[in-house]
Structure 1
C-alpha cells in the first residue's frame, strides 16, 4: 500500500524537476544566469519550496541545467542513428550541437566559475559529447557517406568558432553547412557490406 501511494509523488517530483530544468534553460539562454530561483519558480508555475527541494542553491540549478542539456544532446545522437541515414543523423545532431552552443552563451560566467572551483562538469560533458560524435562519425564512415579520416576532436575544433560568434541569424548554420561539406568530401560513397549477404544468383 505504501509503495503504491509513493509512485505518484515520485512521478510528480520528476515532472517538476524536468519542468524546472527546461524553464531555467530557456531563461538562462535569454537573460543569463543572474535570473533568480524565485523567477525560475514563477515561470515554471511551481512554488519556491519546490525549487529548493530539487536545487538547494542557484549554482546547483545552473550545473544541473548544463548536465541535463549535454545528456539530452547525446541521447539525441542515439535516436537519430536509429531513424536516419548516418550522414543525415550526423548533420542533424551537429545542428543540435549548434543550438546547444548558442544556449551556453548566457551561462558563460557561471560556467567559468565552475571551472575555477575545480568542477568536473566540463570534462564530463566533453566525454559524453566526444563519445556520441565518434559513434556518428564511425557510422558515416562505415556507410561511405562521411570521410573516414576525421576524428571527433577535428569536428569540435572546426565548430568551436560557433561558440564565440555574434548572435547573427543563420551564421552558425552556414558554418555547419561548410563543416558538413568537408566531412562528406572524400567519402567513399560505398556503403559497408552487410554482415550477412544473400548468395549471388546462379
Structure 2
C-alpha cells in the first residue's frame, strides 16, 4: 500500500511545479552546505528563479523549511515501501533503519529550526510522524510475523533507540552505524538454550 501524501502541496501547473521542485532542491542543497540560515535570495539564485517567484510559493523561511522537510520525510517513507517490495522482512527493516540513521545524521539543523518555528506538537509534525510510523510499523509487523524480530517490540521502542543514535551532535557517522548494528542485533529474538 502506498503512503498518503504529506502536508505540503506541490503545485499541479507544470511551470509552477518545476519552480517548486527547483526551489526545494536548491534549498535542500544550500541548507546542507551552509546551514538553514542561508539567505532566501541565495536559494532563489541557485534555483534559477527570481526572489518574487520564491516568495509567491514560499511566503517565509518557515514555509520553505516545511517543504524541504516534507520532501525528505516523504523520501524516508517511500524507501520503507520500496524495501518492503524488494527485500525479506528483516532485511527491509534493517535497510530502512540504516537509511533513517543516515537521514538523521544529515538533517539535525533543519528539524531543529523547524521545530523552534512551529513546535514539535504542531499538526505539521504530527502528520509527518504518522506517515513515518505507518511505514515503520509495516516493516516491523512483517519482521515480527516472520519470527525475525522480538514479538514484544513496538515501533516506539525501536525509534527511540534509533533516534538516540542520531540525537547527539557529537556522534560521528562511523559510531552511529556501529551503534545501529548493536540495536539491530538486539531486535532479533533471543536464542533458546539447547537442552541437553
Structures share fold, TM-score greater than 0.5: yes
Q: Distance in 2 between matches of 1:123 and 1:79?
A: 23
Q: Distance in 2 between matches of 1:82 and 1:12?
A: 33
Instruction: Answer whether contact 2:147 2:189 (CA < 8 A) is retained.
Output: no
Identify the structure with bigger relative contact order (alpha carbons < 8 Å, sequence gap 6+).
2
Q: Number of residue pairs matched?
A: 179
* 2:108 is the alignment partner of 1:114: no
TM-score with structure 2 setting the length: 0.81
SS at match of 2:151: coil
Among candidates 63, 70, 79, match of residue 60 of structure 1: 63
Instruction: Answer whether contact 2:105 2:173 (CA < 8 A) is retained.
Output: no
1:136–1:143 distance in 2 versus 1, CA, 3 Å: same
Among candidates 152, 157, 161, match of residue 155 of structure 2: 152
SS at match of 1:34: coil
Query: 2:170: which partner in 1?
Result: 166
Q: Distance in 2 between matches of 1:49 and 1:115?
A: 28
* 2:188 is the alignment partner of 1:181: no
Unaligned runs of 5+ in 2: 1-11
TM-score with structure 1 setting the length: 0.79
1:99–1:27 distance in 2 versus 1, CA, 3 Å: farther
Unaligned runs of 5+ in 1: 1-8, 189-202
Instruction: Answer whether contact 1:73 1:96 (CA < 8 A) is retained.
Output: yes
Say what the alpha-carbon RMSD is for the aligned residues. 2.2
Runs of 4+ in 1 over 4 A off after TM superposition: none
Q: Distance in 2 between matches of 1:173 and 1:19?
A: 32
1:187 shift after superposition: 8.1
Instruction: Answer whether contact 2:62 2:117 (CA < 8 A) is retained.
Output: no
Query: 2:46: which partner in 1?
Result: 43
